[in-house]
């Protein structure tokens, strides 16, 4: 029996069913490659879901963590503050442009960052309502899944959600939802469900992650900024998947030029170590009293050391520009494929930088979702040695998240394997029809 199959049996007997995962059990990884328990090599076009932006085990990140481990691994910042935490907050404050003086708080997971951003907004405004958007993903905790705009599997069977959480439409030009449509939906909520003077925050992903890599139109983000300013609402940009150089800018919102009051960061921030942050305007971040924010492991020293190294690597290796180049290579390959006769199932190609996706449909006229085709492409790619993921509220989008440090040879090899998987799956579909 292979090691992978043996581990799958052990997992079935020991691990909660709700913790989903692939059938590959990783033994080691380096940059854009990983090897499973049976020694098979794969190219990783997921980067741990946009976590390993600097690749698996970047030498500078590993060296920083090793050096920190020689000093201390944990103090709890509330008990024993340390310089690297302060330095990282200083750096993040300088990277996030809110148009004013910033403060930052370090936490552990993305959903912690989102929840603490909501706490800050509520403390600052004295209000409790929050408006998120359809297709959003903000985490799996009770508040996180309430904010998430995708019911299955994130809300299935988990009962009532927290009160005063509302979902407005997110623009989706591919499916005919314009900025005007989305804003009209938001205005309906403010007119019929909750008064604007009870809304503490809007929370929105400038590029949706789990929702299908839907890019918020720039005029939509600008309108949210204007509405928030008019009503004293805190505007929160969730940059957990789209931030840290992933889209060719340090933050995905920089493409639009629209500034948030608060920004949440996680995933790529610490190169594989658990760390998140809320960065934003000082008067909002500082609204909660002393002791109102934090956590035992929040701002863990090893993760903080990794994050400071990640920021160094992004600057030294020009990873924002590299992300843009990766995205152009991916878009060019997918566009050429979509333009071939017989490949009309590729309905849309979208994203920024190395955050690219393609949506699969039964035909380009009806735009009916083809989730089975998406699943088949993901499975065939894995058989060929390429790891990719699906996403989207209709489960019909394939997302591509390479490490930003991927060598050109690995990128081209991975795109060749992806093309093979798409061609085989669409060919199989055509024969069945």
Q: What is the mean pLDDT of residues 308-318?
A: 98
pLDDT tens digits for 253-290? 999 999 999 999 999 999 999 999 999 999 999 999 99
Q: What is the mean pLDDT of residues 50-73?
A: 98
Q: How far, in Å, CA of 320 to CA of 8, rounded?
A: 38
* For the chain, percent of residues with pLDDT exceeding 90: 97
Average pLDDT score, the chain: 96
Q: Model confidence at 319, in pLDDT bands (50, 70, 90)?
A: very high
312, two tokens:
């160094």
Q: Which residues share a beta bridge with 361?
A: 369
Q: What is the mean pLDDT of residues 150-156?
A: 91
What pLDDT, on a 0 to 100 scale, did the predictor assign at position 132? 98
pLDDT tens digits for 67-104? 999 999 999 999 999 999 999 999 999 999 999 999 99
**β-pairing verdict for 129-133 and 165-168:** parallel
Give the global pTM.
0.97
What pLDDT, on a 0 to 100 scale, did the predictor assign at position 430? 59
Show the domains of the chain with their CATH numbers: 3-57+318-432 (3.90.1150.10), 72-316 (3.40.640.10)
pLDDT at residue 431 is higher than 70:
no
Q: Model confidence at 23, in pLDDT bands (50, 70, 90)?
A: confident
Q: Model confidence at 21, in pLDDT bands (50, 70, 90)?
A: confident
62, two tokens:
């590993």
pLDDT tens digits for 193-249? 999 999 999 999 999 999 999 999 999 999 999 999 999 999 999 999 999 999 999
pLDDT tens digits for 330-387? 999 999 999 999 999 999 999 999 999 999 999 999 999 999 999 999 999 999 999 9
pLDDT at residue 146 is higher than 90:
yes
Gyration radius of the chain over CA positions: 21
């Amino acid at each position: 029996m292979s090691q992978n199959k043996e581990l799958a049996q052990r997992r079935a007997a020991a691990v909660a069913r709700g913790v989903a995962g692939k059938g590959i059990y990783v033994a080691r990884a380096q940059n854009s490659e990983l090897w499973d328990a049976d020694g098979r090599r794969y190219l990783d076009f997921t980067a741990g879901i946009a976590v390993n932006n600097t690749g698996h085990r970047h030498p500078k990140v590993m060296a920083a963590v090793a050096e920190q481990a020689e000093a201390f691994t944990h103090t709890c910042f509330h008990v024993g503050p340390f310089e690297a935490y302060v330095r990282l907050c200083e750096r993040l404050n300088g990277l996030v442009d809110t148009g004013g003086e910033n403060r930052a708080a370090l936490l552990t997971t993305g959903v912690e960052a989102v929840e603490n951003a909501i706490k800050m907004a509520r403390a600052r405004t004295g209000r409790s309502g929050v408006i998120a958007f359809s297709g959003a993903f903000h985490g799996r905790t009770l508040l996180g899944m309430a904010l998430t705009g995708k019911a299955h599997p994130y809300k299935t069977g988990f009962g009532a959600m927290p009160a005063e959480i509302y979902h407005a439409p997110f623009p989706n030009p591919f499916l005919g939802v314009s900025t005007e449509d989305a804003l009209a939906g938001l205005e309906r909520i403010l007119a019929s469900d909750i008064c604007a003077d009870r809304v503490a925050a809007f929370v929105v992903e400038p590029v949706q992650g789990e929702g299908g890599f839907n890019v918020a139109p720039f005029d939509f983000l600008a309108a949210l900024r204007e509405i928030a300013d008019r009503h004293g609402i805190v505007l929160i940009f969730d940059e957990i998947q789209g931030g840290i150089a992933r889209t060719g800018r340090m933050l995905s919102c920089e493409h639009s030029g629209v500034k948030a009051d608060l920004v949440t960061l996680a995933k790529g921030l610490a190169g594989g170590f658990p760390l998140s942050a809320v960065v934003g305007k000082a008067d909002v971040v500082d609204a909660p009293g002393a002791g109102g924010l934090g956590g035992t492991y929040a701002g863990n020293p090893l993760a903080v050391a990794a994050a400071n190294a990640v920021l160094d690597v992004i600057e030294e290796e020009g990873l924002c520009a590299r992300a843009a180049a990766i995205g152009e290579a991916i878009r060019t390959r997918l566009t050429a494929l979509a333009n071939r006769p017989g490949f009309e199932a590729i309905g849309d190609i979208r994203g920024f930088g190395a955050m690219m996706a393609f949506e699969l449909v039964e035909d380009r006229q009806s735009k009916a979702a083809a989730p089975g085709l998406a699943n088949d492409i993901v499975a065939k790619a894995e058989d060929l040695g390429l790891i990719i993921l699906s996403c989207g509220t209709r489960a019909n989008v394939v997302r591509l998240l390479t490490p930003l440090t991927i060598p050109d040879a690995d990128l081209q090899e991975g795109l060749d394997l992806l093309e093979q998987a798409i061609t085989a799956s669409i060919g199989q579909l055509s024969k069945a029809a």
